Structure 1
């Protein structure tokens, strides 16, 4: 069922990328990437970074109604309060953010709109996390399919009407609309009541969420911020167009990696959260490697061999330089997914300290490597740095989890 949802998301994402590439070109793709990175950061901050925690604790306590009420009500109140506060701050700083993120004050209205919609977007993501924790796959899949289709329709209509401004407007609006459809699908579920969603605060539950909040916020800030810094560096050293080529390669990666990362969130994380012993954890990790490793390898080889077709189908002839970035990017993607299989254990088992240290360390390392490789090898250096960073990250994960992987 996750595969069905992901397939539809890949198709709608492909059409979206194709429309954007045709109408706004490489420089427009770079600008869109800047806004998407910012929204990723603020969406996590607006939810308090607790969504993975909601998945874990709902999965863990779904048969304990007393504890479940505390988990849901505190999670809902944290999300509601923080999204309103962060949204208000975004509106106040709209002019500054427009100049800093999109390099022009004329886009300040986008940040005002996003500040207003953040509350609805955050509450929707909270409900989806609860469905995920309950493993309500049918409802979860339906809502995700609707999200993908609405996102596609919003983007195409607004891009055709307003060009690049329409694309940016679609990014900040469409996700908040989905809450209407989510509520329709969950309104009859037992937990969708005031009793479960709005009881008193509980210090112990807030403390539990805090671990996930730190991890999610660090992850949400470091990855988009790293991409933001690298993109700004490429714009400064080369041009907006060259930065657009690099961003386009990231878009291609995002499309096929979605097939793998969606399974991590929907199946793998709740499964790891349920496992209590090292033997079971080892079996689940090795089983995941046996399934994902060969499939990922075949997928990456096929994409490399078909890179000419991929670029021509996804983009236009003005994106031809992207073809030179494939080999290093695909190698980096392989080690990225292989390392994430282990990194998700840190999320599932609330290993917040080591998670935060590794996230920050390897984000900084990627920036340093990018500066070094780009100065020596040009634009290709950006994807070479990506590969080296995730190669080192993978072996770091193996060392960290050697006791689980190799001890009988």
Structure 2
């Protein structure tokens, strides 16, 4: 018995000392704030617009993910990877940032034109009605701001400025929920739709203010000429990011659209509610992986060290997931009551399936991030398509 207790203490000690857990601890503050603000936002939005409205907002959110990925050129993971790799070389950093800005600006301009010109057609395709065309016009006007904000956050991540990254995310979460709730309170469903395509854009000004005085936020780092070699490096990440952007959201849109059309908008709202809950706890994982795991894998060049890092991460993540997901399942009725209204209670039967799927999804991410860190283009695209088809 004493031996088992000693082994348990040793395991817990190793886990707490692991770098990824330290980053989890740091980012958990940001994630906790984001989850709390998300709780407020989801509760108010669900109470005002109901399950059918939640389903409609879900459709728009999935399309927004696709458009936002295209607006940034899909290069944000590449920015993080190469800044982490060359952050001590200011000349190379200037090349990376200058080309990132040009790619982001061009892609955003193309997306803006498409959204504004074809707003009625896109509204009919995504929202199953042309009445929401105004949302896509607004989206087109503001999408550049979103893309620039994401670019700046990716740079911060590449420099491994974890604390600054956390503070920016906390500020964005608080201001975002105030913005969203205000629009929903004033304009109900219309406000929820406008908020879904604009709230991340206004965060650019918050991010710029919080990055004031940062050495790399200087015009000299963004004035280099276009470099085809750098653009080629980014292109590999663009293909990976855009593959994800096109597969996962489109599959979700098709599934939700089928449920709305063939079953009922209310049941589509239950499904969307389950996705909202899933997204909340997945934030904890994705934030920590993006902040610690991607830059860490990017900077490792030794194969043995790389294998050790991955195995160590599995040893830490799997027990945490099993414990956390068990608690979520046990508390599922409380979670629904806390986040939604009694109309959403039938979604409780979806928890077991969602949690099981998310467990294996997160375990697969440990390998997927290796593909991103090492630009394993073909393998990433093939596995992403297979995963999406199996959904």
TM-fit CA distance, 1:85: 1.6
- Other-structure match for 1:264: 289
TM-fit CA distance, 1:57: 0.2
- Other-structure match for 1:335: 360
- Other-structure match for 2:237: 212
Gaps of 5+ in 2: 1-25
- Other-structure match for 1:186: 211
TM-fit CA distance, 1:268: 0.6
Does 2:377 align with 1:352? Answer: yes
Deviation string 1:88-131 (CA, Å, 9 cap, x unpaired) is 11111111111111122221111111101111110111011000
**Cα distance in 1, alignment partners of residues 235 and 273 from structure 2:** 35
- Other-structure match for 2:116: 91
Does 2:333 align with 1:308? Answer: yes
Are the aligned partners of 1:10 and 1:255 in contact in 2 as well (CA < 8 Å)?
yes
Correspondence list, 1:216-235, <5 A:
216-235=241-260
Does 2:346 align with 1:321? Answer: yes
TM norm structure 1: 0.88
**Cα distance in 2, alignment partners of residues 181 and 16 from structure 1:** 20
Does 2:64 align with 1:31? Answer: no
Are the aligned partners of 1:76 and 1:198 in contact in 2 as well (CA < 8 Å)?
no
**Cα distance in 1, alignment partners of residues 281 and 365 from structure 2:** 15
**Comparing 210-219 with 257-266, which one deviates more in the overlay?**
257-266
Correspondence list, 1:28-177, <5 A:
28-177=53-202
Deviation string 1:214-244 (CA, Å, 9 cap, x unpaired) is 0000011111011001111112221111111
Deviation string 1:333-391 (CA, Å, 9 cap, x unpaired) is 1111111111111001000111011111221222xxxxxxxxxxxxxxxxxxxxxxxxx
**Cα distance in 1, alignment partners of residues 112 and 289 from structure 2:** 29
**Cα distance in 2, alignment partners of residues 205 and 243 from structure 1:** 43
Number of aligned residue pairs: give it.
Answer: 366
**Cα distance in 1, alignment partners of residues 92 and 198 from structure 2:** 35
Are the aligned partners of 1:110 and 1:168 in contact in 2 as well (CA < 8 Å)?
yes
Aligned-residue RMSD, C-alpha: 1.0
**Cα distance in 1, alignment partners of residues 297 and 221 from structure 2:** 25
- Other-structure match for 1:240: 265
Runs of 4+ with >4 A deviation:
none
TM-fit CA distance, 1:138: 2.2
Residue from 17, 30, 50 that aligns with 2:42: 17
